[in-house]
Structure 1
Amino acid sequence: MAESFIFSIAESLTAKLASRAYEEASRVVGVYDDLQDLKSSLSYVKAVLLDAEQKQERSHELREWLKQIKLIFYDAENVLDQVDCQTLRKQVVRAYGTPKDKVGRFFSSSNPLVFRWKIAQQIKDITQRLDRVAANRDKFGLQTIAVDRRVVHRREMTYSHVIESDVIGRDHDKEKIIKLLMEPSLDNNDGSKHISVIPIVGIGGLGKTTLAKLVFNDKRVGESFPLKRWVSVSDDFNIKSLILKIINPLSDFASSTNAPGGQQNLIDLQIEQLQHRLRNMLEGRKFLLVLDDVWNEDRVKWVELQHLISVSAQGSKVIVTTRSQSIASMMGTVANSYHLKNLSPKDSLRLFVRWAFKEGEDGKHPDLIMIGREIVKKCKGVPLAVRTLGSSLFFKHEIQEWEAMRDKEIWNLPQKEDDILPALKLSYDEMPSHLRQCFALLSLYPKNHAFNSFDVAPLWGAAGLLPLQSKDKTMLEDAHQYLSDLMTRSFLHNVVDCGTFYGFKLHDLVHDLAVYVSKDVCQLVSSNTQDIPENVLHLSFVENGLPYNSIKTSLQGVRSILFPVDNQGASEAFLNAWVSNCRYLRYLDLSNSTCETLPESIGMLKHLRYISLCNNKRIKRLPNSICKLQNLQVLRLDGCSNLETVPEKLRKLISLQRLEITTKQSILPESDIAKLNCLEYLCVQNCVHLESLFVGTRLPTLRTLEVTASASLKSLPLDTHHFPQLETLGISGVVNEDWLYRSEDTNAVLRLKTIVLYKMVTLPHSLQRYASTLQTLVISRCYELEVLPEWLSNLSALKFLYIWGCPKLMSLPRDIHRLTSLHLLQIINCTKLYRKYEPQVGECWPMISHIKHTDIRKTWNS
């Protein structure tokens, strides 16, 4: 699978070599000419990579050829990164170095002359290796393809027939869609007829097509729509092809040489003649059109078809099934797309039994049914997954076979063409190559992990998967665009849009897919791991007590090490055995580690972009060598409750974008922090001795500030003089708001977009100051909060209101209807609120029923 990422790596290398910043850096270092030779060799290979990726499944030799190129590309990325490291180091020495530093540097390996010679030799070696491998490209008969427009082999054409008794658990969904079909259509503002379009959205295998078939074949729908057409769109949204299918449902077969003459004649007609026939057929007739499996996002084509069918009678409708929310938004006209949900556990088991046994045989095997319940849990309510696993057990009645199925991961099971993994992989294959890589890295976290974009962005950034940084766009903004792309493809689950950041999870089956496609690049290491693939790049340790003393030479190229499971972190022995050997590390997450110190050699990991010691309760000091990491973008020391002081000379971390601190210090090195010209995110957590924060200090680039449980804090200036770019504010555990110093200058009021309040007893009255700009308000785990202030209804710009885990909260403001911009209200795990505002039945439901999107649940899992 990793070979499918090669073109993306080639593109990122090409983009870097072509950038003005890198060109200038290479001239300063003195390797510009050497890099031009590499650039030429790279272009020669890149030209055929897309074709090679598509043909590799049919040729073992071609796969080996791609593997050689991949390893050369990895080395090239490491060498190019060294040029960046040298450039940043020169900036630091120039800005903050002493004469002693400069003399020491002359006699070290960082000496410009020594570095230039070494790096030039490495570049020449890589270029020669690439040329030798590239010389073999012609023997594979590869074609030059410059742009990634690979053909995705989607599923076969669908048809409208369905046996209703075979469908389980979709009665409620069917009635909902039929209700939408029966609602009257509205006229457009220009007086023309309005055709309602109802999108059904969900991941592959969820049963969108099956639901559309149930609706299409319902007797009531047939009586209401005299003319119906089912069109399987799938591969192409070709207007001529669509017109043919609408005029004559048998036109799918019209290209056959045995097709009747009338059908063959239709194909021979010009588009002008066809559209004339279509309009004659539809004019004045009430029409239902189902467009099944739509992938094309070209709005021009959709509008063209819409105009052609608009001659039909009032009340005509279109049903669209798609995996893409962006397509649903583009085509849909109803208030909301119909997001198809998973089957219930009960319905999933019924469906499983139907596919695993002959009719009536299940009663003979109660022991197998018990195992079947556990197997069905793997499927997480996705019907195609249930069918896949049930079908594979048909005629198998041995307990051992069922237990083996229960204990295997889905991606390790044999899969036929129309099974669940191939169905999900269609969506993956359709993604652009850079997005495929980003998705694959999400496999490094366990199932049901709660992601947020603040953590995903540095992981993708450290792996080099985000665009080169510019003044116009931050790393977080680029990551948000990629997450939005994944969201529209139904790859993200339980998404929470907090305005300036996202929270989300992966559906278990989507996580299975991520593990499947990333297996040569990413590895989850547990006690069951027998071997780690050669040249793996990203390692995630998901258990304690794993062996660490058998480091392989081939693993020295590892770029990411994670400990993503709570309360399972690295020991000092692990650090000494692994970290010092992995000299190309970019991402080092040592959350929950038990080490009392970091090795001084940490300063040698010059490629590091991210290091986290989050929730290490034992560490007291950090080596000052950590400030030699000029590439470092994220430093997390939050939850380090015994940390006596942060490292000296933080100002040398000139690339730092995010800093999180827990320390026993009463005064932070604010002058150093203020010199961090890239700093966008700052969290000061549980600094119990801290009395004031950034009074008289300006942080011009800061966008997010989080201050939690700092009991001694007496002053925090919140104004544009100190924080001119601040957009997101998080506050936790504040008993009173006296320390929230506010300037009297009305021109200095912050333009906050997002506020997160955590473990508060009351809401700070000062929130009113942000009424005209605040778009997102999160109120989380405020266990003692009983009432919301009435002035909350003054937040005129509020779009998203999230209330989570507030069990004593009695009610919402009486005039919540004044929040006219409110787009989404989510209430979860708030016992008293749920009883009063439960959808349709709660006594106060009418007060909020006008809000476009409401999500009100007893618990997170309800």
Structure 2
Amino acid sequence: MKVCHFFSTSNPLAFRIKIAHQIKDIRSRLDKVSADGTRFGLATINVESRLVVQRREMTYPDVDASSVIGRESDRKEIIKLLMQPHPRGDGDGDKSLCVIPIVGIGGLGKTTLAKLVFNDKRVDQLFQLKMWVCVSNDFDIRQIIIKIINSASTSPFASASSVTSHQENINNIDIVQLVSLLRSKLSGQKFLLVLDDIWNDDRAKWTELKDLIKVGTAGSKMIVTTRSKSISSMMGTVPSYVLHGLSIENCLSLFVKSAFKEGEEEKFPNLVEIGKEIVKKCQGVPLAVKTLGSSLFSKFELTKWEFVRDSEIWNLEQKQDDILPALKLSFDEMPSYLRHCFAYFSLYPKDFFFRNYDIASLWVSLGLVQSRNGNGNLENIAREYIEELHSRSFLLDFVDNGYIFNFKVHDLVHDLALYVAKEECVLVQSHTRNIPEQARHFSIVENDSLARTLFLKSKRIRTILFPIDGVGLDSYSLLDTWISRYKYLRILDLSDSTMDTLPVSIAKLEHLCVLNLTSNYKIKRLPHSICKLQNLQVLILTGCMKFEKLPKGLRKLISLRELSITTKQSVLSQDELASFNHLQTLDFYYCDNLKILFNGSQRLNFLETLMVQSCGSLESLPLYSFPKLQTLYLGDCTMLNLSLNNENPIRILKMKHLYLEKFPGLLTLPRWIVGAANTLETLVIRKLTNLEMLPEYLTAMTHLKMLDIRHCPQLLTLPNDIQRLTALEDLRIHGCPELCRKCRPQFGEYWPMIAHIKRISIGEQNEFSDIEG
């Protein structure tokens, strides 16, 4: 075997020689280009390395209010905020300037809403001076000052020539004079300033501008519009006004207004019916509605309307001000690491319900996530990427459960991902006829789409996914074909497939990083050849209910960092598990026969996440065998002793996230949790049906941010000093009738103790998705 390996293309020495020749060839071609440049007298110019972004057109405050549909309630809410006194300072004790952010995805109508407010007669009565500034381009302090001065100087009575002359004059004066002129314009005035289309996330620049304009009288206010939640949080002195999409009824009205002349729609009821289906794909975004409606204006052929209805938006012709260019601005504004990751959302169908590890594992395994200092946890960095995408308004229905996020991607954002990915990523459906040669990643979302002819041209596939529950591979021969054809495969997701084993040839996939066999209900064993996959980082066997035994030699998987298993074994090979030097995530699911997880002498020194669910025979858990454990989920393990033998003194833990679910025997929480008093950020307790009290030590959790209590009907009280949880910003209590009554907003006896918490959800209904699964 060693001789065969030496003479194969896998020999590292042969690989280096091959790459060296390729590098030499590339350098030779670059030298030729340089020589040609000199010969033809081409000049070298320095180009700023920062990405040049195509911006939207400058906005203006004028609007025809009668043409705006569905924003009256939003206008009233913003005007109500303008009328209210400033509820609190802006962080430095100053109460003269209140900043109201309007935030939402591109094309949602933030600017239109700001225009409606700006031109409302009630606003004229509130402010002596109104100014509109479209920032849009780089946050240049000098240019913004000039725009504010120009806006303040412009009035209905000023002549065009005087305004032009004034602008020419201030463009030529220095910054000291500009600041002086700005202060003279604003001092003593109660003003409203609208800063439209903010992209700057540099707090220092914002603070500099804010300090310059805080010279108006008390009651002066600013409205800022932005697509970024983090920017709105940075700038706002009151909670952001998150703008939502229009209703279906309002979308249809706007669509009809864009597609027909007034009253013309009555002649074409069949087209209006198709229009109802078209607006559904717009997801309430007015610009998308207008884009598609305008594209059909004065076009009455049924086939053209059906084409728009049946096509993805990215396949339709777009003008500069249409929805896709508007959304692409947000894409262009992303840092490069996010742009590289974003396209892979196109591998999942619309309305897909993501858990953060679905996409994070994909990014990490494809090498798209890079540690900034060389030793960071890549999964945690991927989580930060997801949070940043949420901040940029790309994600919907975002639920933060501490360690796990649940979210969806807006349909229009999915269209943008398709547009960006082009033919590199392919979503295989029943109407897919082939996978192009340039494709690198494909996912299969329909069982009847697996014709062998699909794969004739593709040769360089890196990713194969089956993301939909119930859709999987049932062809052993097709899998064998994939293994022989796609030798550079990195991710092989065979979820919900129906094979009783894998081909021995799986060992040929030398570059494979992820092997996902979730819910393969027939598979019993893995071939021993799988132990040759030395680059394998993730092995998932969760829900493989007939799986009998892990293969011997698993310790050879030296790169493994995540292992999730369902097995009939009663004992695991302790030495093999302990030999995984890089294992960070370990998940046991429905291991009914498993009695001992570790005997206590072995240690997994790098393990950060441990999830044990529905292991009915498990009796003990040597928690202190995992010195770096940060996330622990324990659920429905009826024989498990959670007291850890009441060790004394209690050992220090580094845990950040703790989830306890379905332990009917617990009357109070185990004492060992005190060991995580200085680190615990998330505590979720669910279906502890006999839990009677929360321990007083809970108030010592100085870093606790989220407390989620579900379906604990015997729990009647909160700890007396719950106000000491100063970091707590998310409290959720559901399915606890008496405790919910005591915590009712405004009226409950506990309300004064919890009213300061940023997000509170009290009720009988479970509004949040479960963490399990």
| Fold agreement, TM-score > 0.5 | yes
Tell me how far 1:346 sits from its aligned partner. Answer: 2.6
Q: 1:148 to 1:745 in 2, by over 3 A?
A: farther
Give 1:529 shift.
Answer: 1.0
Q: What does residue 21 of structure 2 align with?
A: 124
The partner residue of 2:604 within 653, 674, 699 is: 699
Letter in 1 for 2:112: T
Q: Is the 8 A contact 2:371 2:381 kept in 1?
A: no
1:775 paired residue number:
681
CA 1:595–1:431: 2 relative to 1, 3 Å: same
Aligned equivalent of 1:63: none
Equivalent residue number for residue 487 of structure 1: 390
CA distance 1:813–1:165, change in 2 (3 Å): farther
Match of 1:632 among 536, 544, 562: 536
Structure 2 counterpart of 1:9: none
Determine the structure 2 residue equivalent to 1:605: 509
Give the direction of change, closer, same or farther, for the CA distance of 1:551–1:494 in structure 2 (3 Å limit): closer
1:645 corresponding residue in structure 2 = 549
1:530-555, Cα deviation, whole Å (9 max, x unpaired): 22222211111111133453375752
Q: How far has the Cα of 1:399 moved from its partner?
A: 3.8
Q: Please state how far the C-alpha of 1:278 moved relative to its aligned partner.
A: 0.8
Contact residue 510 and residue 535 of structure 2 kept, 8 A: yes
Gaps of 5+ in 2: none
Evaluate the alpha carbon distance shift between residue 764 and residue 525 of structure 1 in structure 2; reply closer, same or farther with a 3 A threshold. farther
| Deviations 1:768-823, CA, capped at 9 Å, x for gaps | 5435233113456x4x858774448935443123467x598998848666654321
Partner letter of residue 755 of structure 1?
A: L
Relative to structure 1, the CA distance from residue 192 to residue 427 in structure 2 (aligned partners, 3 Å threshold; closer, same or farther) is closer
Whole-angstrom distance in 2 between the partners of 1:403 and 1:388: 16
Contact conserved, 1:718 with 1:750, CA < 8 A, in 2? Answer: no
Contact 2:472–2:497, Cα closer than 8 Å, also in 1: yes
Q: Which of 313, 331, 343 is matched with 1:440 structurally?
A: 343
Q: Aligned residue for 1:347? A: 250
Cα distance per residue 1:410-465 (max 9 Å; x no partner): 11121111111111111101112221110111211112222233332221122111
Q: Residue type matched to 2:401 in 1? A: C
List aligned pairs for 1:283-294, cutoff 5 A: 283-294=187-198
- Shift of residue 601 of structure 1? 1.2
Deviates more, 1:379-388 or 1:681-690: 379-388
Change (3 A) 1:112 1:459: closer
Report what 1:164 is aligned to. 65
1:311 paired to 2:215: yes
Q: In structure 2, how many angstroms separate the alpha carbons of the residues matched to 1:222 and 1:129?
A: 66
For 1:556, what is the secondary structure of its paired residue?
Answer: coil
Separation (CA, whole Å) in 2 of partners of 1:645 and 1:268: 79
Amino acid in structure 2 at the alignment position of 1:121: K
Describe how 1:457-476 pairs up with structure 2 within 5 A: 457-467=360-370, 472-476=375-379
Work out whether residues 836 and 845 of structure 1, in 8 Å CA contact, stay in contact via their aligned partners in 2.
no
Secondary structure of the 1:260 match is helix
**Which has a greater percent of helix?**
1
Equivalent pair of 1:683/1:706 in contact (CA under 8 Å): yes
* Whole-Å separation in 1 of the counterparts to 2:738 and 2:491: 42
**Is residue 80 of structure 2 the alignment partner of residue 175 of structure 1?**
no
The corresponding residue for 1:756 is 659
Q: Given the alignment of the two structures, is residue 570 of structure 1 paired with residue 467 of structure 2, yes or no?
A: no
Q: Secondary structure at the match of 1:108?
A: helix
After superposition, the Cα gap between the structure-2 partners of 1:130 and 1:146, relative to the gap in structure 1 and judged at 3 Å, is farther
Q: Partner residue of 1:44?
A: none
- Partner residue of 1:299? 203
User: In 1, are the aligned partners of 2:616 and 2:639 still within 8 Å (CA)?
Assistant: no
Provide the rounded CA distance (Å) in 2 between the counterparts of 1:396 and 1:775: 58
- Write the mapping of 1:364-383 to structure 2, written as runs, cut at 5 A: 364-383=267-286
From the superposition, tell whether residues 757 and 695 of structure 1 become closer, same or farther in structure 2 (CA, over 3 Å): same
Inter-CA distance 113–492: structure 2 relative to 1 (3 Å threshold) = closer
1:193-204 superposed matches below 5 A: 193-204=95-106
Match of 1:582 among 475, 486, 501: 486
Distance 1:552 1:127 in 2: 34
Distance 2:163 2:120 in 1: 30
Aligned-partner Cα distance in 2 for 1:463–1:142: 39
The whole-number CA distance in structure 2 between the counterparts of 1:810 and 1:693 is 31
The AA in structure 2 aligned to 1:765 is: T
Instruction: Give the gaps of 5 or more residues in structure 1.
Output: 1-103
In 1, the alpha carbon distance for the partners of 2:626 and 2:562 equals 15
**Residue 123 (structure 2) aligns with:** 221
Aligned match of 2:706: 800
| TM-aligned CA distance change 1:746 to 1:391, over 3 Å | farther
Equivalent pair of 1:834/1:856 in contact (CA under 8 Å): no
Name the CA distance, whole Å, in 2 between partners of 1:837 and 1:597: 55
CA apart distance, 1:736: 6.0
Contact conserved, 1:737 with 1:764, CA < 8 A, in 2? no
Amino acid at match of 2:608: R
Choose which of 120, 137, 151 in structure 2 pairs with 1:235.
Answer: 137
Relative CO higher for 1 or 2, CA cutoff 8 Å, sep ≥ 6? Answer: 1
Give 2:758's aligned residue.
852
In the alignment, structure 1 residue 326 sits paired with structure 2 residue 230? yes
The answer for the alignment partner of 2:619 in structure 1 is 714
**2:353 corresponds to 1:456:** no
Shift of 1:344: 2.2
Partners of 1:706 and 1:422 in 2: CA distance: 43
**639 and 144 in structure 1: CA distance in 2 versus 1, 3 angstrom threshold:** farther
Instruction: Report what 1:274 is aligned to.
Output: 178
Distance 1:389 1:495 in 2: 28
Distance 1:570 1:856, change over 3 A: farther
Whole-angstrom CA distance in 2 between matches of 1:428 and 1:477:
22
481, 506, 519: which is aligned to 1:615?
Answer: 519
Amino acid in the other structure paired with 2:66? S
Q: In the TM superposition, what are the counterparts of 1:15-94 in structure 2 within 5 Å? A: none
1:478-505 deviation digits (Å, cap 9, x = unpaired) = 2123223322222222223333443322
* Mapped contact 2:695–2:719 kept (Cα < 8 A): no
Is 447-456 or 233-242 further displaced after alignment? 447-456
Question: 1:265, 1:560 → 2: CA distance?
Answer: 60
Distance between the aligned counterparts of 2:60 and 2:234, measured in 1?
A: 24
Residue 763 of structure 1: how far off its partner (Å): 6.0
- What's the counterpart of residue 411 of structure 2? 508
CA RMSD of aligned residues (A): 3.5
For 1:370 and 1:731, the matched residues in 2 are separated by 51
Say which is worse superposed, 489-498 or 284-293, in terms of deviation: 489-498
CA–CA distance in structure 2, aligned partners of residues 404 and 588 of structure 1: 35
What is the CA–CA distance in structure 2 between the aligned matches of 1:416 and 1:789, rounded to whole Å? 62
Q: Tell me the secondary structure at the aligned position of residue 611 of structure 1.
A: strand
Change beyond 3 A, Cα 1:189–1:676? closer
1:177 to partner: Cα distance? 1.9
> Hey, what does 1:426 align to over in structure 2?
329
TM-score normalised over the length of structure 2: 0.89
Contact 2:89 2:237 in 1 (8 A): no
Tell me what 2:728 maps to: 822
Match of 1:264 among 148, 154, 168: 168
Shift of 1:686: 0.6
Q: 1:603-651: per-residue Cα shift (whole Å, max 9, x none)?
A: 1211111111111011111011111111111110111111110111111
- Distance in 1, matches of 2:448 and 2:193, equals 59
Q: Tell me: CA distance 1:492–1:766, structure 2 relative to 1, closer, same or farther (3 Å).
A: same
CA distance in 2 between counterparts of 1:243 and 1:266 reads 10
Aligned length: 751
2:435/2:454 contact within 8 Å kept: no
Q: 1:257 to 1:285 in 2, by over 3 A?
A: closer
CA offset digits 1:563-587 (Å, max 9, x no partner): 1111111221221121221100111
Q: Which secondary structure does the structure 2 equivalent of 1:550 belong to?
A: helix
Give 1:339 deviation, angstroms: 1.5
Counterpart secondary structure, 1:428: helix
| Mapping of residues 373-412 of structure 1, within 5 Å | 373-412=276-315
Give, in whole Å, the separation in 1 of the partners of 2:255 and 2:748: 40
Q: 2 CA distance for matches of 1:827 and 1:273? A: 57
